[in-house]
Amino acid sequence: MTCEHSKQPITMENKIVIIGGGGHAKVLISLIKKTPCYRILGYTDVSNKGTILKTEYIGNDSVLKSIIKEHRDCSAALGIGIIGRANSRMQIFTELKNTGFLIPAIISPDAVINEEVEIGEGSVVFDGVVVNSGARIYKACILNTNSTVEHDCRIGDNSHVAPGSALSGSVCIGKDCLIGTGASIIQGIKICDGCKIAAGSVIIKDCKIPGMYAGNPASLKKRL
């Protein structure tokens, strides 16, 4: 038997560790608990945040090597958000891979994933998300609550589509981008690596320079 979204066998060996203990980790824990695919061993963080949704603190990241030694084929999930931490997030992703952890895509059973969609390892799709046919989501992305990714979109590594955002058909988002809450991007737009789109903005032209874009229609407000 396999989990529909992870395509991994459902056995008692499908253990998973959450990396991070903040708000994003809390929602991720709740999501994983709704799927039959994994049993959460606990979470790691630089400090003990106490029990999170009945999930225990197991130490800082120094414990990860001993965990993978004890639990072969253990998985890990990135429970840290992208805002202000893009570089550290991808560094942790790489270190987890090098340590030997599997980093599966985590997809809510309450999301709609249509035909011929590809979702890369380490990406998370939260409740209410719609991803339409032909879309490709690369590694370590976040598709947050009630966001929409229309047909044939491309979203680069480590980009975050925030709650309520809407990407129309054939939009191309680069790496390390943040699409803010409630932002709208019209069809065919290209957004280069390293862009941040402010909440509620409307993008009607390509974003060719890494920076902060805001407004309706949006314009470049600050180079990054």
Residue 119 to residue 139: CA distance in whole angstroms: 8
Helices (H), the chain: 23-33, 64-70, 86-99
Q: Say whether pLDDT at 25 is over 80.
A: yes
Is residue 100 domain-shared with residue 196, that is, in the same domain? no
Q: Buried b / exposed e across 20-57, counting CB within 10 Å, b at 16+? A: bbeebbbbbbebbeebebbebbbbbbeeeeeebeebeb
Q: Say whether pLDDT at 2 is over 80.
A: no
Give the per-residue pLDDT at 87.
65
Q: Tell me if 220 is assigned to some domain.
A: no
pLDDT in tens, 172-198: 999 999 999 999 999 999 999 999 999
Is residue 111 domain-shared with residue 204, that is, in the same domain? yes
Give the per-residue pLDDT at 6.
46
Give the per-residue pLDDT at 109.
95
Domain extent, residue 33, equals: 15-104
Is residue 19 domain-shared with residue 89, that is, in the same domain? yes
Domain CATH code at residue 92: 3.40.50.20
Give the per-residue pLDDT at 108.
96
Cα-based distances in Å from 155 to 13, 21, 50, 93, 139: 31, 26, 34, 17, 9
Q: Say whether pLDDT at 123 is over 60.
A: yes
Q: Tell me if 22 is assigned to some domain.
A: yes
Is residue 171 within 8 A of residue 153, CB to CB? The reply is yes
- Number of folded domains that form the chain: 2
Domain CATH code at residue 150: 2.160.10.10
Is residue 94 domain-shared with residue 24, that is, in the same domain? yes
